[in-house]
């Protein structure tokens, strides 16, 4: 029982630290020495595609292999610019739901898009990767508004950029532009690739003095 309480407190602290870090100055990118990935640690780099570099857009794209991922969260319709506030509002509620239903958290905050991120109101899923129920736990209906979504396993393209939640739209545009330059047949509207071919998660990096936090977003796109 003590272990469960400590772990739950740890989850709340992780969510709180995430948003505290979002307020730091993201322009200080020098001397990065440590990076903590806040999403499902299922990516493995394919060195054959490590040369996918966009010098004109300031991003580096690599191919990764991902295992299937299950997430628990909530759908909303809103402009991408409102994402940060939405996460602040719902993150702890999602953690509470995970704990209440005895799922095992398997990563950090992840955002799914039904379509390629664009201007205007879009369908957005904010969730957290989870494993199956804890041993001995009984399944019960989720709280109203919460659902389970799944990301298919397979080959994906991944770009890490200096951006906070809600400010990644220009990075997505640079991402697809670079992909199209390499593959003219690529299309941001090709939903036949996967149910959710576009998603992002977040990570924080500290400099050598461990004083400055740089918020980063990892943009992930199903390989075409």
pLDDT by residue (tens digit) across 129-148? 998 776 666 778 888 899 99
Per-residue pLDDT, averaged over 44-59, amounts to 51
The domain in which residue 98 lies consists of 2-222
Number of domains into which the chain is organized: 1
* Model pTM score: 0.74
Reported confidence tier of residue 61, pLDDT bands at 50, 70, 90: confident
Q: Of the given ranges (27-36, 157-166, 214-223), which has the lowest mean pLDDT?
A: 27-36
The answer to whether 32 and 207 are in contact (CB under 8 A) is yes
Q: In CATH, what number is assigned to the domain containing residue 202? A: 3.20.80.10
* Neighbour-count burial of 222, counting CB atoms closer than 10 A to its CB (0-12 exposed, 13-18 middle, 19+ buried): buried
- Reported as type and span, the H/E element at residue 97 is helix 83-100
* Neighbour-count burial of 70, counting CB atoms closer than 10 A to its CB (0-12 exposed, 13-18 middle, 19+ buried): middle
Under 8 Å CB-to-CB from 99, ≥6 apart: which residues? Answer: 8, 11
**Cα–Cα distance list, 13 to 117, 194, 213 (Å):** 30, 33, 16
- What's the pLDDT score for residue 16? 45
- What's the pLDDT score for residue 50? 47
Under 8 Å CB-to-CB from 9, ≥6 apart: which residues? Answer: none
pLDDT tens-digit readout, 64-74: 899 999 999 99
Cα gap 207→75, rounded to integer Å: 35
């Amino acid at each position: 029982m003590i272990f469960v309480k400590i772990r739950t407190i740890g989850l709340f602290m992780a969510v709180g630290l995430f948003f505290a870090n979002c307020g730091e100055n993201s322009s200080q990118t020098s001397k990065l020495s440590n990076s903590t990935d806040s999403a499902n640690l299922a990516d493995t780099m394919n060195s054959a595609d490590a040369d996918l570099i966009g010098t004109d857009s300031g991003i580096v794209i690599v191919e990764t292999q991902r295992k299937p991922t299950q997430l628990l969260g909530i759908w909303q319709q809103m402009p991408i610019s409102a994402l940060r506030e939405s996460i602040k509002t719902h993150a702890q509620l999602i953690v509470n739901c995970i704990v209440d239903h005895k799922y095992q958290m398997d990563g950090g905050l992840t955002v799914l898009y039904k379509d390629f991120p664009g201007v205007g109101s879009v369908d957005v899923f904010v969730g957290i990767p989870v494993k199956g129920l804890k041993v001995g736990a009984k399944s019960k209906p989720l709280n109203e508004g919460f659902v389970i979504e799944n990301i298919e396993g397979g080959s994906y393209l991944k770009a890490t950029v200096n951006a906070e939640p809600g400010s990644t739209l220009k990075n997505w545009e640079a991402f697809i532009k670079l992909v199209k330059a390499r593959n003219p047949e690529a299309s941001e509207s090709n939903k036949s690739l996967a149910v959710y071919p576009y998603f992002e998660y977040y990570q924080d990096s500290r400099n050598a003095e461990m004083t400055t936090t740089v918020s980063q977003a990892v943009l992930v796109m199903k390989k075409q």
